[in-house]
């Protein structure tokens, strides 16, 4: 590809080790249709890992996105930071409220040793032959039961704080934005070493807010045995999937968002272009009826 102009390339991002490009593979119905894209209309994602060399040493993989899948990917990327920030702020505020409540309980509840000493003292009062002391012991015991409930609530709050802290740690990690796997059950995608197998492609995008390049794209290609359903749908036969090439590339927001916007604009323009025949038939249909 070096030194050549690829007219199908919409946009590309590359480093010294890896490359990702979005390619035009859109196809349109020959007749006038309200949605001009055919079932084979795609935006192709090509990735290459040449960290160990070029030519046969490089690792290549691809994945085909339908226009609808691309829009789903684009929307997920646009909302990733917002959703992650909102979840983090919500969880952080909830944790602070729980810690404040726990602090209030801690100020009102005795420590374990003191609590036991008071219970023993209340028992001595309660079992005293002196009626006044016995009544006081019962009152102290009733008060201690209320404190015991508070201590139980305190344990529940500790559990809630632990759960909230775990959720907060999870938010700081990765958020899956897109994940799918496809089987290309066509003769041209048959495995030359095993005709029963067909090409399978996998695509996954993850957002990690702690990284400088937070958007991680992983594209994998391999082989699997097709399982054809009665309705002619195709699944991957259980246990038959195996990936032979995987490429991972991390991108920052500054580079990724303009790329996705360019693909979106391209799809909009090409969809409008593909609708020209439809516009001609529906805007002024009387022109297509001959008048004698």
The DSSP-derived string for 235-248 is EEPTT--EEEEEEE
Checking if the pLDDT of 116 tops 70, the result is no
Closest to 182 in 3D by CA, of 197, 198, 200: 200
Q: Where are the alpha helices (DSSP H) in 6-130?
A: 67-108, 112-126
Position 136 confidence tier, pLDDT thresholds 50, 70, 90: low
The rounded Cα 65 to chain-centroid distance in angstroms is 17
Biggest CA–CA distance in the chain, Å, is 123
Question: Rounded to 5 degrees, what are φ and ψ at 128?
Answer: -70, 150
Checking if the pLDDT of 1 tops 50, the result is no
Closest to 241 in 3D by CA, of 216, 222, 269: 222
Checking if the pLDDT of 3 tops 60, the result is no
Write out pLDDT tens, residues 217-272. Answer: 999 999 999 998 888 788 999 999 999 999 999 999 999 999 999 999 999 999 99
Instruction: Report the pLDDT averaged over residues 142-157.
Output: 61
CA–CA dist 249, 17 (Å, integer): 9
Closest to 173 in 3D by CA, of 47, 57, 87: 87
Instruction: Give the contacts of 214 (CB within 8 A, at least 6 positions apart).
Output: 207, 208, 250, 252, 253
pTM summary value: 0.71
pLDDT value for 262: 97
Residue, of 77 and 93, whose pLDDT is higher: 77
pLDDT value for 82: 83
Residue, of 91 and 155, whose pLDDT is higher: 91
């Amino acid at each position: 590809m070096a030194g050549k102009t690829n007219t199908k390339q919409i946009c590309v991002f590359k480093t010294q080790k890896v490359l990702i490009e979005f390619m035009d593979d859109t196809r349109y119905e020959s007749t006038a249709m309200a949605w001009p894209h055919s079932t084979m209309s795609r935006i192709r994602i090509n990735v290459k890992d040449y960290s160990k060399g070029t030519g046969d040493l490089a690792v290549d993989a691809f994945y085909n996105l339908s226009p609808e899948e691309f829009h789903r990917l684009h929307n997920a990327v646009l909302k990733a930071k917002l959703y992650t920030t909102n979840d983090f702020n919500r969880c952080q505020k909830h944790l602070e409220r729980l810690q404040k409540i726990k602090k209030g309980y801690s100020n009102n509840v005795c420590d374990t040793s003191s609590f036991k000493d008071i219970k023993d003292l209340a028992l001595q009062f309660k079992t005293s032959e002196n009626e006044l002391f016995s009544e006081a012991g019962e009152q102290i015991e009733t008060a201690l039961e209320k404190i015991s409930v508070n201590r139980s609530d305190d344990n529940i709050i500790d559990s809630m704080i632990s759960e909230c802290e775990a959720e907060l740690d999870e938010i700081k990690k990765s958020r899956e934005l897109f994940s799918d796997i496809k089987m290309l059950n066509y003769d041209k995608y048959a495995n030359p070493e095993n005709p029963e197998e067909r090409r399978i492609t996998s695509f996954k995008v993850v957002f990690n807010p702690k990284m400088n390049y937070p958007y991680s794209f992983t594209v994998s290609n391999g082989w699997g045995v097709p399982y054809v359903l009665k309705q002619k749908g195709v699944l991957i036969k259980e246990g038959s999937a195996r990936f032979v090439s995987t490429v991972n590339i991390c991108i920052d927001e500054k580079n990724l968002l303009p790329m996705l916007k360019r693909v979106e604009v391209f799809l909009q323009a090409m969809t409008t272009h593909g609708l020209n025949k439809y516009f001609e038939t529906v805007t002024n249909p009387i022109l297509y009826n001959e008048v004698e």
